[in-house]
Structure 1
Amino acid sequence: MSQPLRFGVWALVHGSRAALQDPAEPYDASWARNKALVLEAERLGYDSVLVAQHTINPHDPSLDQLEAWTASAALAALTSRIEIIAAIKPYLYHPAVLAKMAQQIEHISGGRFAINLVNAWNRPELERAGIGFAEHDERYAYGREWITVVDALLRGEALTHRGDNFRIDDYQLRPADPFRARPRIYVGGESEPARSLVAAHGDVWFINGQPHDDVAALIADVSARPRPAGHDALRFGLSAFVIARETQSEADAHLEHLFALAELDKPLRERQKANIDPNAVMHQTFARSARVGSNGGTAAGLVGDYDTVARRIAEFHRAGIELFMLQFQPFEADMARFAEEVMPRVRRLLD
């Protein structure tokens, strides 16, 4: 394979990923839990952790919500090997301020930091703060200019910029990155503006969980787009919720159990629909199939016995997926089970 196989986990920034009312996994989005989870993920051999950014809980504003960037800085100091990916919504931070924060976490981590650019879908988070919630394509235009500024500043360039949203005069950040040209940039979103943005500015495209053939088609589309001079070939990551058990019947039973638990959250999710941008392709994709988990969840098909899940991961990898960003429930127990049972099987298949 031209790219290494990597496995990552989603930090539990707003609690459980499949169902919020699970007796086996009480709701807990605390810093203490997330610190312990990421340290254990590093010990188990996971390569990355994604810390999603929300200032208020996207499910229910009364529930706890971990703050992504302060948590990522702390994780950078506590870990030694795992890549720390912090999501960022451009409207929440001026690009010069965010670039400096990213540069500092890059130094704290020793060159293990990355940005995940997302252009927001949760309306109240911005509207209730008085920031405003622009239309879909306008958000992407803003995000494109925003990441242009951040990219240049992270590279240590002296930047003068005149755009629709920002005016910057001879701005330069020091100290520069001693580890590489700049931290890695991940980009999420599957709309046409998102695909154009990732081709122009991303290093890795995060694809939401969906079947193999759909993922292969997305990879083919974006791989064919021109890249700026000097940029490496684009790489690809996939979000997926995993249920791996000794037998298929055990995996199916646990999936049905999670579906039943998720039904308890149905009133909350119905209220949440009013907060979602209907033009967000991510949510249009999710509506095509029943699933549990966020960002596509079980739609990627990683539900089954250990050998079946390993085989499907190998097939995704051969199609071009380098990084698998995984969710589980119960998270800690299934994260350990996956590391012990599935990771070795996948690597044997790819040897």
Structure 2
Amino acid sequence: MTLDYTGHPDDFLQWRRDHVPVYNKNRLKLGIFGTNCSNGCTITHAETSFEPTYEHNVKIAKLADRLGFEMLVPVGRWKHFGGTTMFNGDNLEVYTWATAMACNTKNIMVCATSHTPTAHPLFAAKQGASIDNISNGRFGLNIVCGWFRPEIEMFGKEQLPHSERYAMASDWVTCVKRSWTEQGFDHAGKYFTIKDGFLSPKPIQQPYPVLLNAGNSEDGREFSAREVDFNFITIATLESGRELVADIKKR
């Protein structure tokens, strides 16, 4: 049995424009990143009023929602970076965090940032579909391949070579997409095997929840252009940003 998904996500573009917050008419999309982790995105001993607590995150999420921001994106983090700051050592798990933020907001999209080596695709798909239903179609999945070796090894996994991480991510996201759009499917990939895959309820979003990836390398750009809806890029200048966007669009 298959659902309505029959082609490229762009086939559902009008549906997304009508129903998905990040596809609204605003030319400039605004989001908040990293509030689930201690120190956010800044490695420092400077005093701050920021706390990576549930209460503080809800306060920020409600304010962003009220101001019309489109998206909340957490950092996917399992282990601190050491040193005297223990950067990102305190953090709220991303799927749990996304559910909590969804229950405290009305319009803004809530994302989970998921490492492909640490979450089985069926489990990620089930959690994502559940959050999409809880949020009434506001869930997004930010896919990361796992670059921080101590984090991956903590799970007893081998840190794969860079290009192979993206090959694994392609296998992973194929399983996630099929779980969201099919029933009773078999998948035999290099990294993941699924027999008689089943998931219900399916996500509200069509054909499936919004996907993001921060691929900036050659392999990363290829992956993001092929597999996801948005490339979560970092730019140093407007000119370098234009060049990067043009390159990804060509792919």
The normalised TM-score by structure 2 is 0.82
* 2:60 maps to which of 26, 31, 37: 37
Give the whole-Å Cα distance in 1 for the aligned partners of 2:233 and 2:88.
30
Correspondence for 1:168: 194
Correspondence for 1:196: 222
Code of the residue aligned with 1:149 in structure 2: it is C
Where structure 1 has 5 or more consecutive residues not aligned to the other structure, the ranges are 226-351
- The 1:125–1:27 alpha-carbon spacing in structure 2 relative to 1, beyond 3 Å, is farther
The answer to whether 1:12 aligns with 2:35 is yes
Code of the residue aligned with 1:110 in structure 2: it is N
- The 1:7–1:27 alpha-carbon spacing in structure 2 relative to 1, beyond 3 Å, is closer
Give the whole-Å Cα distance in 2 for the aligned partners of 1:141 and 1:62.
28
1:196, CA displacement in angstroms?
Answer: 1.2
Correspondence for 1:107: 133
Code of the residue aligned with 1:35 in structure 2: it is V
For 1:95-134, what aligned pairs fall within 5 Å after superposition? 95-134=121-160
Contact 1:29 1:66 in 2 (8 A): yes
The answer to whether 1:21 aligns with 2:45 is yes
Contact 2:36 2:74 in 1 (8 A): yes
Correspondence for 2:102: 76
Where is the helix percentage greater, Structure 1 or Structure 2?
1
Q: Deviations over 1:79-127 (max 9, x none)?
A: 1111112111101111011100000000000000000111122111111
1:61, CA displacement in angstroms?
Answer: 6.9
The answer to whether 1:149 aligns with 2:175 is yes
1:195, CA displacement in angstroms?
Answer: 1.2
1:19, CA displacement in angstroms?
Answer: 4.4
Q: Deviations over 1:263-288 (max 9, x none)?
A: xxxxxxxxxxxxxxxxxxxxxxxxxx
Structure 1 runs (4+) deviating above 3 angstroms are 1-4
- The 1:15–1:187 alpha-carbon spacing in structure 2 relative to 1, beyond 3 Å, is same
Where structure 2 has 5 or more consecutive residues not aligned to the other structure, the ranges are 1-23
Give the whole-Å Cα distance in 2 for the aligned partners of 1:206 and 1:51.
12
Contact 1:111 1:180 in 2 (8 A): no
Q: CA RMSD in A?
A: 2.1
Contact 1:21 1:27 in 2 (8 A): no
Give the whole-Å Cα distance in 2 for the aligned partners of 1:101 and 1:58.
27
1:128, CA displacement in angstroms?
Answer: 2.4
- The 1:62–1:192 alpha-carbon spacing in structure 2 relative to 1, beyond 3 Å, is closer
SS at match of 1:117: strand
The normalised TM-score by structure 1 is 0.60
Contact 2:71 2:108 in 1 (8 A): yes
Correspondence for 1:262: none
* 1:64 maps to which of 83, 90, 95: 90
Correspondence for 1:306: none
Correspondence for 2:207: 181
The answer to whether 1:210 aligns with 2:250 is no
The answer to whether 1:86 aligns with 2:109 is no
The answer to whether 1:47 aligns with 2:70 is yes
Code of the residue aligned with 2:186 in structure 1: it is T
Give the whole-Å Cα distance in 2 for the aligned partners of 1:58 and 1:13.
16
Give the whole-Å Cα distance in 2 for the aligned partners of 1:62 and 1:201.
28
Report which of the two structures shows the higher radius of gyration computed on alpha carbons. 1
Identity across aligned pairs (percent)? 28
Contact 2:37 2:88 in 1 (8 A): no
- The 1:118–1:181 alpha-carbon spacing in structure 2 relative to 1, beyond 3 Å, is same
